Chains A and B, each alone.
Chain A
């Protein structure tokens, strides 16, 4: 089976600054693939290039065997790619259910429907996703009124409602308590039943705990890639990143 997401020789510069330089990635189906590296390594830039929010300077993004380089975000979503954001971004004015229904409606191609309906297929699907992630009780609440941890889960619910093949998660545990972080880890693991996951994360415990593959980047380049134990033993990685951060956790 073809890889759901392949990135070849991706590069991106902001003026003279080369943020991403010859980046390669190959995600296998149903796996959690983590992308780690120190701040400013270019992880979010890679995310933005893959998800169509930035136009890469060079290279190729292949989704399910299809070249989707520099496609606009809405087309990428239709092709099976969904993402979340580092800073929580839910639709604060809408209810939790409506937030997720937006995603479901996209999938069903009903965003342009101009007449209202009390109960719709999109809402049914949205409710199912919320139920699966344990947010169903808050379906009628305004998204703005959710606790921080629940908002992060809602982000993932919106993305899952798009029924993606590939899900990009940008620091889903940012600002979470240890308990919430653990819950999020389990949730991501469960997500692989539906989608392959590319995860950017700073919490090394989570990364080492749930990843099938890890890619390490510094200064816009990949310095190592492989299964967690191999990567954590890599002297180059220990040198450049892990050792300085928390050698004992390994």
Chain B
């Protein structure tokens, strides 16, 4: 394979820069298109679905950083999401509906819990970490059920006001959708910088071979801890958006089914690509909507689609995108 050998380093850098430019074009073009959609006369319900899809996209990207890039499989990624939703929602109802204030409080809570839990759990790896992450999310779920004075148990937290930004109320529908889209875009750009940085390369080294990474002088435990905390923090952003969108939350936001859903979105879209989990989240929301009308057990139908996609494209929907790009490139040259 002669294309693997680049004697000239500058050309390698140029190629990488071009790939980045193409992806940027795709992202900004896609974002602009998504931003124009609500003005194209689509149904309000579709806007709601799109909003939910964008929230899930943020959440799935945070999982991708942990599972896709660092190789830390988690079955409990609802933890940061649900915890963030409760913290932001409770604060917004009791104190103020200011979006940034609620987000700040959410992050303070999520960060302190993630720092403590992550310090212990990231010393584990593989299946042990996956199972313990599930246990922790389930413990949080049980706390949400039992701590009625704060969480109102299974009834859930209700009466979260509409969010306000600099005193301006953000209404449900078009306005809230645009806010969510903007946040999703910012999260994507930030995470893309992060994974392209030396820190990101280090994560990839840890995923490929943690022992070898340690022998290269990488403090594996510290890196995994940081990734855990960052992933929870980003999941908390998604949780904050969700609690404002639904004007409340229930313990189900912490339930293992939700952890499973976000994992499926990320794998469906393609782990280790950031863009993939976004596509996965959008596909998940719209497929679920389409399938629930035709099937009593929509998961069964979705399972079939999921298995087919993963079998044909082991790297997920993003694999289809890169395949198309390769074919296009071949056709041109």
Contacts and interface: CB of A to CB of B under 8 A. Distances in A.
A149 B107 CA distance: 50
A93 B212 contact: no
B208 interface: yes
Nearest to B220: A74
Q: How large is the interface on B (under 10, 10 to 19, 20 to 34, 35 or more residues)?
A: 35 or more
B126 interface: no
A165 B315 CA distance: 42
Nearest to A138: B5
Contacts of B194: 114
Contacts of B193: 114-116
A194 to B, nearest CB: 16
A137 interface: yes
B205 to A, nearest CB: 5
Contact of A93 (B6, B11, B208): B208
Contact of A141 (B5, B201, B208, B213): B5
Interface string B78-102: 0000000000000000000000000
A93 B198 contact: no
B201 A98 contact: yes
B9 A140 contact: yes
B197 interface: yes
Contact of B217 (A77, A84, A92): A77
A77 B212 contact: no
B199 A114 contact: yes
B215 interface: yes
B214 A72 contact: yes
B4 A142 contact: yes
Interface stretch (A35-43, A99-107, A220-228, A233-241): A99-107
Interface string B23-59: 0000000000000000000000000000000000000
Given A77-B217, A93-B208, A116-B193, A102 B9 contact: no
Contacts of A243: none
Contacts of A139: 6-7, 9, 12
A89 B56 CA distance: 36
A195 to B, nearest CB: 15
A112 B199 contact: yes
A122 B216 CA distance: 13
Interface in A87-141: 89-95, 97-98, 101-103, 105-107, 110-116, 118-120, 122, 127, 136-141
Contacts of A119: 13
B1 interface: yes
Nearest to B7: A137
A101 B197 CA distance: 12
Contacts of A89: 209, 211-212
A113 B197 contact: yes
Interface string B117-148: 00000000000000000000000000000000
24 contacts: A51-B215, A52-B214, A53-B214, A72-B214, A73-B215, A85-B211, A92-B208, A97-B9, A102-B202, A105-B202, A106-B218, A111-B199, A111-B219, A113-B197, A115-B197, A116-B193, A119-B13, A138-B4, A139-B7, A140-B6, A141-B6, A145-B1, A145-B4, A158-B216
Interface of A: 51-53, 72-74, 77-78, 82-85, 89-95, 97-98, 101-103, 105-107, 110-116, 118-120, 122, 127, 136-142, 145, 158-159, 162
